[in-house]
Structure formats: C-alpha cells, structure tokens
C-alpha cells in the first residue's frame, strides 16, 4: 500500500512539473564550433533525458561485456555450490537412514564440490562412523580440531570415538579441552563431572557443579541435589578418620537435601557420637517423613547405645506414627517388639503386611517370631522361610541395572552422579500361592502339601508324601566391594550367593539362627534371585 501511495505521489509531482514548464515557455540555445542550435525548454529537457537513457544503456552493455568472464565463473561456482549442498543434504539423509554406501558417496561428492567446509567434514566423519571406519572418522574430526571454527565440534567427535574404544584417558582430555574452550558446552561439562566423580575427586566435582549452575546449564534444584550428594560422599569417606570434617560436610548436605537418606544416616551417627541426640533425632525424622528407609530406622533406634529394648520399641512406635504406618515402619516396629520379646505386639505390627503378597523381609520377620516363640522346630517358622524364598523382593539401591545393599554417589556402570534410587527390583515370579499352614511336628520333618511342589515335577499317584528339604534361598545380600553392570543372560550367582542366616536355620542339623535380629540377619531374602531378576544383577 505504501508503495502505491509513493508511486502516485511521484506521478503527481511529475505532472505538476510538466504543467509548470508548459506555463513558462522558454528557449535553450547551444553554440558550439560556429554552430548555433536553438530549441524550446521542454524539447531540450526531453533530449537530455533521452541522451541519459541511451548513455545508461551503452554503459550497461559495456559493463556486461567486460564482466562476462567473471559472470560465467560465478555462475559455474553457484551451480557447483548448489550441487554440493544437494549432495550434503542427501548425505545427511543417508546417514540418518543408516545407508553407509550412499553416505560415503555423497560425502565424497560434497567434499569435491564444497571443499573442507564444516558440514562437509561432519558428513564425512559420520559416514565413516556408520561404515565402521574409525580411523577415517578420527581423521575427519582431527581436521575439524585444526580449524578454530570447528574445534569444539571436532573435540566432541574425538571424545565419542575415544569412549567407543574405551580410552577414558583420551576422552577426559578431549572433554577438558572442550570445557576450557567453551565453558557452556553441556556434553563437556557432563563428561568432566563424570570423570571427576569416578575418580573420587569430589572437590573438583563440586567446582564443576558450581560452574554449571552459574552458567545456567542445570536448574537450581538439580544443582542443590548434586552438591548434597557430593558432600555426602565426602562425609562418608571422612566419617571414620575425620569425624569433625565429616559432620560439617554432611550437615551442609542435609541442609541442601533433607530427604537424602545416606546424608541423614551419616548425620545421625555423627551427631549421636557428639551427644547431640536432639538434633540427630530431628535430622533422621525429617528424612524418615520424606523417605522411610530401613537404614534410617536402624540409625534412629540406635541413637542412644545404652537404651533398653523397651526404649528402642518406643522409638520404633514414634517412627510408625511419623510415617503414618508405612510398611518400613511396621517392619522396624515388628523387629523392635521381637527384640523386646513382645510377640503379640510384633505380630500386630506385621499383620497388615501379610494381607496380599508379603515381601521376603515380612516373611523372614514372621519366621523369626515363630522361631523365637515356638522354637526352631516349629513348622510355621519353616513355612514362612519357604515362603520368603518365593516372595516378592524388597526394595534395594538400584542404578543402571545394578542392585546393591549400600548407596553410592555415582553409578558403577556409567559414572552418572546420584544414579542410585531406592526401589523394588523386577519380580518375575509365578502366580501367588495360597498361604500354607502346616501343623508343627517336632518329632519329624514337615510334610509339604502337593501344591507346594513345583509344576515341573508333578507328583505321581504312587508317590508317598515328600519330606520338605530346606528351601533354596535367593541370593544373599552382602556388602558389595565392587559392582558390575548387569548383562542379558547373565549366569546364576555362584555359591557365594547363598542362603541367608535366617533361612539356613530351617535346615535340619544346621546351626540355629539368631532370633534377635532376623530381618537384618536374613536380608538376603530381600535381594534379587539370580534366576528371577530381569535386567538387574547383584555382585558380591
């Protein structure tokens, strides 16, 4: 619209000028070389304009002739670049679709047509990667490193190649250089943090997190959580040798993440040693409200070493009220009542856990109650132990397919910080079996009803009743000095993954299991069965 208005304004101006000249006639005389030429002003103006147009046309023709070779060269270059960009685009599509032959052909065409442009080198490197030619890929990435404009991109490619050939030293060097050149690059900061965490260099890892937070690479909540995890790792290492420094670090961690279970446990133990029981109780109770955990219950019940079993029972009741009778609080209360020999209270605490499908720890607790009240020969105690072997597994610390009894600040597989979570491992169990209540028979072995025999060995009509053997236990959970990632189709655990102390008590002739702490003694039943775990493996 504005262009139309401008055109109309210019047209009006030209008409006004023509009328103005027509109203004021005049004569223009040109004298040159003895000749005199006279004409009207209007005709002279028309002649000047015509001469200017002719001169402009002549100049354009001259310029076109002079610049013809350059135009031809430029047109050829433009066509060459268009073909190169087309080859580059098709090569990227071939890389994305996984066609190595087409990708390498288009990469060669793009390099021939476009030269060593960044995208050309990237296409060549990616084509070499999907073709399995690692040397060519590294060569292309190294050429990117030599160019200041593509140096960080080349470092990332070399970092990926170093990770693929499991050269962690080179990978860390590339990540460090990239983080130095471009502090805001996310992948370099992540790789640097993983390397520092894997080395246990918690101080440098804290500095990396501070830098990432200041650059806005992570949100404030994640930065607080990661700082708390690192401070907890420092406190865990210094707890035995430098308790004062450990207490300072872990209290900072608790302030940043009050719900972090390992931090609350360490803080509770250190404050208990100082004699600050009130503060220790507050710290553990705050974490318990957010995440009821057996480690927190153990620390809370043992804050005052001189407490009687009745005092510990009262503390367990406090935990139950704080968590609104969470299953973990019932297990802790049942264990404390068993230690106090209050079998009725222990049964009342555990009863709600037995309604649907009791977990292994609940079955072990009931077995311990039966054994403590009726003796090791009790048939019900043995039955609860047998049920524990088939019961759903209790939660464990799990990170990247690795299960562990103890928490760790980083994943043993990927080195990722704060990877362990407390959750139930996969349970690949058969349909739930009905509860079996055999009659106790102290004079002989317990007779197993036919429905407890595995389906793979159906009983024959002529077979006599089968005497129950001690049930095969799931893997025993022991403190894990090392952790290895799970592998699909991993073999069953060896003999070191044995029956727990609580379950071994069911075997005739074996030593009697202690009834004072059946849950902690029989924690093995809460671990993953090696034959039933789906993608989760335990070491030990």
Q: What is the mean pLDDT of residues 163-186?
A: 90
Q: Using pLDDT thresholds of 50, 70 and 90, give the confidence band for residue 413.
A: confident
Average pLDDT over residues 393-410: 92
d(CA 507, CA 270): 40
Distance of CA 110 to the CA centre of its chain: 37
Beta strands in 84-181 (DSSP E): none
Tell me how crowded residue 314 is: count the other CB atoms within 10 A of its CB: 14
pLDDT at 389 over 80: yes
pLDDT of residue 113 exceeding 80, the answer is: yes
Q: Which residues contact 368 (CB under 8 A, 6 or more apart)?
A: 338, 381, 502, 513, 515, 518, 519, 522
Could you tell me the domains of the chain?
Answer: 80-162 (1.25.40), 292-356 (1.25.40), 359-429+469-540 (no CATH)
Average pLDDT, integer, range 492-516: 35
Whole-structure pTM value: 0.63
Mean pLDDT over all residues of the chain? 78
Higher pLDDT pick, 49 / 483? 49
Q: What is the pLDDT at residue 278?
A: 93
- pLDDT at res. 428: 52
What percent of the chain clears pLDDT 90, i.e. is strictly above it? 41
With 0-12 / 13-18 / 19 or more C-beta atoms within 10 angstroms meaning exposed / middle / buried, residue 39 is: middle
Q: How confident is the model at residue 295 (pLDDT cuts 50, 70, 90)?
A: very high
Structure tokens at 402: 């690795």
Burial profile 405-437: b = 16 or more Cβ within 10 angstroms, e = fewer? bebbbbbbeebbbbbbeeeebeeeeeeeeeebe
* pLDDT per position as a tens digit, 35-65: 887 887 778 788 888 889 999 999 989 888 8
Does the structure show a pLDDT above 70 at 99? yes
Report whether pLDDT(415) > 80.
Answer: yes
- The Cα-based distances of 198 to 195, 204, 205 in angstroms read 5, 12, 10
pLDDT at 335: 94
Q: What is the pLDDT of residues 429-466, one digit of tens each?
A: 444 444 444 443 333 333 333 333 333 333 333 333 33
Output the pLDDT for position 38.
81
pLDDT score of 441:
37
Find, among 426, 361, 368, the residue nearest to 394 by Cα. 361
184-202 pLDDT, tens digit per residue, is 888 999 899 988 988 889 9
What was the pLDDT predicted at 425? 87
- Helix H or strand E encompassing 35: strand 35-40
- Secondary-structure breakdown of the chain: helix, strand, coil percentages, each rounded to the nearest 5: 60, 5, 35
pLDDT at 427: 66
- Provide the pLDDT for residue 235: 95
Model confidence at 166, pLDDT cuts 50, 70, 90, reads confident
Residue 520 pLDDT > 70: no
Dihedral sign, Cα of residue 95, residue 96, residue 102, residue 107: negative
Q: Out of 33-37, 129-133, 332-336, which region has the weakest mean confidence (pLDDT)?
A: 33-37
Pairing label, strands 396-399, 537-538: unpaired
Q: Give one DSSP letter per residue of 482-532, joined into a string.
A: ------TTPPPP-TTS---HHHHTTSTTSPPPPSSSHHHHTGGGGS--TTT
What is the arithmetic mean of pLDDT over 169-194? 90
pLDDT at 25: 75
Of the pLDDT bands very low, low, confident and very high (cuts 50, 70, 90), residue 118 is confident
Q: Is 59 helix (H, G, I), strand (E, B) or coil?
A: helix
- In this model, does residue 70 exceed pLDDT 80? yes
Residues 302-323, mean pLDDT to the nearest whole number: 91
| Choice among 170-184, 244-258, 491-505 with the minimum mean pLDDT | 491-505
């Amino acid at each position: 619209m504005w262009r139309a208005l401008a055109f109309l304004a210019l047209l009006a101006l030209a008409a006004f000028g023509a009328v103005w000249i027509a109203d004021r006639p005049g004569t223009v005389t040109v004298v040159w070389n003895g000749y005199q030429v006279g004409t009207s002003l209007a005709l002279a103006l028309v002649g000047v304009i015509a001469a200017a147009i002719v001169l402009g046309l002549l100049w354009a023709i001259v310029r076109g002739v002079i610049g013809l070779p350059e135009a031809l060269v430029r047109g050829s270059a433009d066509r060459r670049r268009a073909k190169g960009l087309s080859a580059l685009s098709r090569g990227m599509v071939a890389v994305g679709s996984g066609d190595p032959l087409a990708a390498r052909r288009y990469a060669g065409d793009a390099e021939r047509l476009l030269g060593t442009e960044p995208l050309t080198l990237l296409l060549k490197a990616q084509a070499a990667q999907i073709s399995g030619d690692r040397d060519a890929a590294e060569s292309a990435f190294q050429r990117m490193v030599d160019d200041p404009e593509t140096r960080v991109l080349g470092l990332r490619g070399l970092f990926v190649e170093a990770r693929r050939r499991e050269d962690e030293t080179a990978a860390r060097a590339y990540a460090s250089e990239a983080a130095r050149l471009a502090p805001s690059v996310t992948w370099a900061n992540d790789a640097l943090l993983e390397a520092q965490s894997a080395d246990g260099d918690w101080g440098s890892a804290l500095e990396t997190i501070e830098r990432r937070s200041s650059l806005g690479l992570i949100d404030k909540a994640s930065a607080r959580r990661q700082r708390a995890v690192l401070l907890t790792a420092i406190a865990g290492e210094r707890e035995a040798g430098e308790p004062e420094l450990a207490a300072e670090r872990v209290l900072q961690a608790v302030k940043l993440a009050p719900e972090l279970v390992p931090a609350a446990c360490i803080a509770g133990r250190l404050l208990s040693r100082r004699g600050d029981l009130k503060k220790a109780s507050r710290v553990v109770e705050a974490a318990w409200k957010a995440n009821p955990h057996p480690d927190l219950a153990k620390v809370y019940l043992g804050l005052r070493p001189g407490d009687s079993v009745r005092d510990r029972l009262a503390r367990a009741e406090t935990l139950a009220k704080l968590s609104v009778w969470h299953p973990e609080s019932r297990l802790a209360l049942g264990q404390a009542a068993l230690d106090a020999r209050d079998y009725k209270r222990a049964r009342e605490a555990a009863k709600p856990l037995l309604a649907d499908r009791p977990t292994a720890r609940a079955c072990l607790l009931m077995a311990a109650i039966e054994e403590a009240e009726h003796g090791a020969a009790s048939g019900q105690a043995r039955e609860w132990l047998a049920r524990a072997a088939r019961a759903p597994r209790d939660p464990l610390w799990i990170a990247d397919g690795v299960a562990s009894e103890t928490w760790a600040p980083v994943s043993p597989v990927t080195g990722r910080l704060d990877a362990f979570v407390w959750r139930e491992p996969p349970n690949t169990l058969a349909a739930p079996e009905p509860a079996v209540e055999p009659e106790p028979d102290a004079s002989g072995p317990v007779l197993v009803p036919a429905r407890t025999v595995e389906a793979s060995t159906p009983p024959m009509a002529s077979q006599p009743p089968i005497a129950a053997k001690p049930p095969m236990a799931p893997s025993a959970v022991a403190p894990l000095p090392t952790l290895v990632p799970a592998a699909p189709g991993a073999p069953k655990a060896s003999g070191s993954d044995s029956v727990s102390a609580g379950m071994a008590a069911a075997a005739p002739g074996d030593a009697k299991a202690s009834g004072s702490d059946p849950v902690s003694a029989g924690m093995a039943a809460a671990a993953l069965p090696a034959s039933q775990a789906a993608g989760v493996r335990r070491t030990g």
